Amino acid sequence: MQTKLFRSRTDRMIGGVCGGLAQYLQIDSTLVRLFFVLFTLGAGFGVMIYFALWIIVPAEGKESLPLNEQMRAGADEIAERARSLGGDIQSGAATPNRRASIFIGVALVVVGAIYLIQNLHIPWLRWLDFDILWPILLILGGAALVWRQVRRQ
């Protein structure tokens, strides 16, 4: 079992926080990422906690640095990733991905339609509410992840 918490270099999507936590807790990093997404959507603190951990938790291989240098390295890494992301967004806007545009467009239409239907107050469509729909979507998403992993094995 891993005894020190660090940000992963190999299992990272943004800063390696979820990958490092997953290695420390010996669980799948997808579960940790899902926790952060749900915590962000639920209480709204997931992003702040993620960035705080990104600054505080040392990167893999840099655990021996003093705390202030670890924090400075984390903050510098966040700034570099933000610049890189800005460049990626700029180049993506210049040459848009057709599939991504269609997906985002369909998602916006569906969410807009749900809000419109809710505001029309049609009695037989009262079930179409985010308080009911959101948990159903989470259950379906989780079931799809489990089903995909079971099919692979």
Q: Which residue has the tokens 């979820």?
A: 18
Report yes or no on 143 lying in a domain: yes
Q: Are residues 33 and 82 in the same domain?
A: yes
pLDDT of residue 93: 66
pLDDT of residue 92: 67
Residue ranges in the chain modelled with pLDDT below 50: none
pLDDT of residue 128: 66
Q: Are residues 111 and 71 in the same domain?
A: no
Angle formed at CA 118 by CA 39 and CA 47, multiple of 5 degrees: 15
Q: Are residues 55 and 79 in the same domain?
A: yes
Report yes or no on 3 lying in a domain: no
Q: Which residue has the tokens 């692979």?
A: 152
Total number of domains constituting the chain: 2
Report yes or no on 44 lying in a domain: yes
pLDDT of residue 127: 67
pLDDT of residue 130: 65
Say what the pTM is: 0.52
DSSP letter for 13, please: S
Pairwise CA distance, residues 88 & 93, whole Å: 8
Report yes or no on 24 lying in a domain: yes
Q: For the chain, what is the largest distance between any 2 Cα atoms, rounded to a whole number of angstroms?
A: 63
Q: Are residues 75 and 30 in the same domain?
A: yes
Report yes or no on 84 lying in a domain: yes
Q: Are residues 21 and 85 in the same domain?
A: yes
Find the domain containing 128 and state its range.
98-152
pLDDT of residue 96: 66
pLDDT of residue 2: 56
Q: Are residues 83 and 120 in the same domain?
A: no
Report yes or no on 106 lying in a domain: yes
Helices 46-56 and 67-94 sit at what angle, rounded to 10 degrees?
130
Helices (H), the chain: 17-25, 29-42, 46-56, 67-94, 98-120, 130-152
Q: Are residues 34 and 102 in the same domain?
A: no
Report yes or no on 12 lying in a domain: no
Report yes or no on 6 lying in a domain: no
Q: Are residues 43 and 81 in the same domain?
A: yes
